[in-house]
Amino acid sequence: MADYDLNVLLEFLKPDADGSVSSSNRLSSQIYSLEALASMCSSNCSHAEEMKACGGIDLVLDLLYNATCGKLQLPCMFMLACAAEANVHVQQYLTQDKIFGLIQTAIAGNNNNDVGRTIASFFLLSLVSRNKQGQLKIFTSGCLTQLMDQFVNYYKMLANSKVGKEKIKHWNIIIKTLSYSVNIPQNEMNQNIVSKLVPWIIATIHRKHSNEVTEHCCKLLSVVIENNSQCQTIAFTSQAVEVLILLLKHSSESGNCGGECVNALSCLLQGEAATDQEKVKFITLGGLYLVMELIKQDLNEHWVLFHVNQSLNLLNLCIDGSGVSSEKIPVQKIANCVTALMDKGYGDECLNQQSIKLLSKIYNFGIKSKANVSIPKKRVKQITSKSKTRS
């Protein structure tokens, strides 16, 4: 961004000689400047750094604090959100109690303005994403419980088919913000607060109103229950396994939800609260076959190596003392699925280790049970060489 461009745009944001910042003859120019600055920051993180260095961020903050109309307040918030999203130094600088309080007021004060609430929530998302201090302030400011209340309100609107495009957009931002409030880094305090929302999250997944909302809810469920037995217990009692299995059965109709659904199941069934009974439920409802079908598909932007690894993890968990009689576990089909996956040659070390671990269990199962389990010779060599290395 040329200094000339930046200086010209910032000049429109400075107060008039009489101290006013939003006189009618300047309002449209100020809004245009804020929109242009937001676009510049989004396109390149260094632009946001320049804005901070030259005092531009402070200038926009002053304009925000002194704005007397929503027409100026919302563009200010959007510009600052774009800068915080693009640049971690700007994000840290804007992680202030006063700003979180302002966002909380803006969300509450825009009850009849979907666009206004969406922009205020996006500003909140930009400050909480991968930011430990942001996670703390979203709690202390009251914004976390505010978002949880709005999530429930949207669910109730959904029951009456009153959720339009802008509301869906806002709902997705709320779900993403809740996800970052508990994860990256993991925040157990916020997890326990958001645990009250777990039954609503599962109910939303069950409704499948929007593929995007369903996918984001699966992600949210995963991070809320991860490494948290209290949240896992709530999920199990809310029939999470049944709902997620149902989603897998209709994955072809549910867009790109399969990967995140598998991730949620993996987080559940490997958790401390997972019992053999829950694993048996997963198997008897056809979970193994559904996961194997997903593994067969090629990688794409919504089915990545992480999801494949989580799928293998699920298969491993179910073969590990799930309490299901051996004849109910289709070991030969699992072996065929895993060897076909290895033959694709993705070159991922974690995936290879998971695959060999799973094949090793199947191989040993065949020896102990005297079952006729067929595994290609080159894979048997990998299994036996791995076993020798361990010993």
Residue 389 pLDDT > 80, yes or no?
no
Model confidence at 3, pLDDT cuts 50, 70, 90, reads: very low
Angle in degrees, CA 15, 18, 22, rounded to 5:
45
| The two structure tokens encoding residue 231 | 């949240």
| The two structure tokens encoding residue 22 | 């939003």
Model confidence at 383, pLDDT cuts 50, 70, 90, reads: confident
- Structural domain boundaries in the chain: 1-94
What pLDDT does 59 receive? 95
What pLDDT does 379 receive? 86
3-state secondary structure of 371: coil
What pLDDT does 194 receive? 97
Amino acid at site 85: E
Strand partners, 300: 303
* Mean confidence (pLDDT) of the chain: 88
Mean pLDDT across the stretch 174-190?
96
Range in 70-79, 182-191, 220-229, 362-371 the model is least confident about? 362-371
Mean pLDDT across the stretch 125-143?
97
pLDDT digit string, tens, across residues 347-378: 888 899 899 989 998 888 777 766 778 888 88
> Which is higher by pLDDT, 313 or 68?
313
Alpha-helical segments (H) within 129-239: 132-140, 143-159, 165-182, 188-194, 198-207, 211-225, 229-237
Residue 179 pLDDT > 90, yes or no?
yes
What pLDDT does 1 receive? 43
Contacts 24+ apart (CB under 8 A), 354-360: 354/309, 354/312, 354/313, 354/316, 355/312, 356/382, 356/383, 356/386, 357/316, 358/312, 358/315, 358/316, 358/319, 358/334, 359/335, 359/383, 360/386, 360/387
What pLDDT does 17 receive? 55
Give every CB contact of residue 246 below 8 A, 6+ residues apart in sequence: 206
Residue 335 pLDDT > 60, yes or no?
yes
What pLDDT does 4 receive? 45
Least Cα distance to 103 among 64, 148, 55 occurs for 64
